[in-house]
Structure 1
């Protein structure tokens, strides 16, 4: 019997794969695009050279296609082998096109659920959702059972994750099924990643900031920011009281594996988050430190934006929208399942600067 894993080449999925393979009784099958050899190479890159043993297999597939993109023979074979399915694949483009996000995150999840419902043996489902299912809820405490759309959504990404979790909950509500839903916040690490390893949001954000300062790269606006010696104030449309929940991937993966270790009937959802939100001001201070002379000012609306303000707003729109909340997330259910796992370490300016890749060159973290 085997565990089928989707998304095993991504930042979260590859870390989960490495942790799952620590169980000597577990066989894991990674489903991914391209040939089996190509999937294997992407997993090796994601795992940064970690050893792969014989209990790990690679299968060509695509969750957006019928039969998960497998051949009929392979599809039938895996239906007979799979007893657990970790669905971690997804499109995480915060401002991606709605059609693409719905195809991957919603249709892809529907196809995964169809597979899980057809397995020969009862199949336990573990699904990687997101705290973004809370949509545009601005504040308050989001419980682990909350799932509604009364606040609307600021992006197609948030909406797609919400719709996908609705499908998972409908599937998991049927008798005899065991389903675990994880809602991680923004997963990051301050580890230095290999060149081919999948990136995390904080590192990508840091690279975009540097690209803007240096003049852009393909896909990034090429208008130069003012020279570093010139003082500049940039207004951004967000509240100074906003915050972001970052959580270390190392903690998140361990919490997920421990929580999912004991199967039980029914469906349970868990917030995999840091107990303390990171103030947006901390992020802005790090950016200002990266570019001496720049002052970032939070305002309700940017009237008559300067060229630099238009550049920042257009390029970082997805990040800005994701950082407009002061809500927090209940993690009571998670804490009852993770045993003696200690809370993650505080995320201070020094840690976040390293996570953003700003420990290179001249940059130091802002003083606390």
Structure 2
């Protein structure tokens, strides 16, 4: 029976899709109404991601698009369409979501919480025992800035850095309650910040690194191509005294950045190995085995814009105009410049997937990911 997936054309979805195509399974991609045909979007995004052409050519035969509206209880389908879709589904992957860190709370709740509830209504109408794969985020840990976060932790005691985190926390709580009530078989994935090192193309899924660099360039008015010559990010810093930009942060702060390709691979592997107990979701942290210093992220931004960016504890004293603009450009990212927490990778370890073979997030990787074609 077909796999029903939301968010197939998103940053994570476009990297998970090749695994589903490789298996030869039929796929029903639930897409937003009013967008270009799903086959056209998938083919463009898959090619931009470097997927083998044989898998790209499989899209028309294996993937069927169904336009829906996750904000509506019936997904915008007629009763007959809703029932038919539910009857066809053999498995559900829910990847769609609103990821805007500065987005209005109402919009985030509507997509991430209410939309999830509407999809689960479709799942409830499907055959008993179908598996559900729900993508949450490691940032349901909220404002907790230190310590080791367990996969069982979901209490909100530390508050939240933004409305995005709160909406994903509430969505995961909703999924857990629904799972218990329905005795459903559910896997919850909690990826950290998903990144990539392929230059971003216009019209393809957004890479958070490129978005950070773009926001910085737009607000500061600084060029964003980096030093001339080697575009890999491996060239040395330009000679001369680049302007210094101070940004408030905690020395030693770090974040967990995970290559999106690794997240998709781990999800595929876990889906094959996990057999969730009805009524109790299996929860998995999808994180890198090495943390990335926040200072390293800002050094990469500075490299692209010809600046020296340094984290300083406490408010920036007598900020320059450029520093005020930089603070605005990094506003969404600012709360994380004080985090030092880590995540236990218990499920990955228990299933032999806690390998240290994930690409390192070094300076060259960060710079490549921040570039745009």
- Normalised by the shorter chain, which TM-score bucket? 0.7 to 0.9
Q: Which runs of 5+ in 1 are unaligned?
A: 218-227, 361-368
**1:320 CA drift (Å):** 1.6
Superposed CA deviations along residues 107-141 of structure 1, whole A, max 9, x for unmatched, are 11111122211213432110000011000001010
Query: Match of 1:264?
Result: 276
Distance 1:121 1:321, change over 3 A: same
Matched, 1:141 2:164: no
The offset of 1:37, in angstroms, is: 5.7
Compare 77-86 and 49-58 and name the one that shifted more: 49-58
4+ long deviations beyond 6 Å: none
- Distance change (3 Å), C-alpha of 1:193 and 1:292: closer
Q: 1:11 matched to which residue of 2?
A: 11
Contact 1:187 1:249 in 2 (8 A): yes
Q: How does 1:118-267 map to 2 (within 5 A)?
A: 118-174=125-181, 176-214=183-221, 232-262=243-273, 263-265=275-277, 266-267=280-281
Please report the RMSD computed on the Cα atoms of aligned residues, expressed in angstroms: 2.5
Maintained 8 Å contact 1:2/1:27: yes
Aligned pair count reads 348
User: C-alpha offsets along residues 338-366 of structure 1, whole Å, 9 cap, x if unaligned?
Assistant: 559653122111111111128x9xxxxxx
8 Å CA contact 1:37, 1:58 repeated in 2: no
CA distance in 2, matches of 1:164, 1:22: 30
Choose the corresponding residue for 1:335, options 349, 358, 362.
349
User: What CA distance in whole angstroms lies between the structure 1 residues aligned with 2:32 and 2:170?
Assistant: 24
Distance 2:35 2:219 in 1: 37
Q: Is the 8 A contact 1:144 1:270 kept in 2?
A: yes
3-state secondary structure, aligned to 1:11:
coil
- Structure 2: runs of 5 or more not aligned: 49-55, 225-238
Q: Answer whether contact 1:105 1:164 (CA < 8 A) is retained.
A: yes
Contact 2:250–2:311 (8 Å) recurs in 1: no
Q: Distance in 1 between matches of 2:323 and 2:149?
A: 32
Contact 1:229–1:292, Cα closer than 8 Å, also in 2:
no
Separation in structure 2 between the aligned mates of residue 230 and residue 124 of structure 1, nearest angstrom: 57
SS for the counterpart of 2:288 is coil
- Assess if the C-alpha contact under 8 Å between 1:187 and 1:248 holds in 2: yes
Native 8 Å contact 1:191 1:355 kept in 2: yes
The aligned residue for residue 223 of structure 1 is none
What is the rounded CA distance, in whole Å, between the counterparts of 1:241 and 1:148 in structure 2?
26
Q: Does 1:345 align with 2:359?
A: yes
Q: 3-state SS of the aligned residue for 1:94?
A: coil
TM-score, normalisation: structure 1: 0.87
Counterpart residue number, 2:27: 28
Residue of structure 2 in register with 1:273 after alignment: 287
**Higher relative CO (CA 8 A, sep ≥ 6), structure 1 or 2?**
2
Residue 85 (structure 1) aligned with residue 53 (structure 2): no
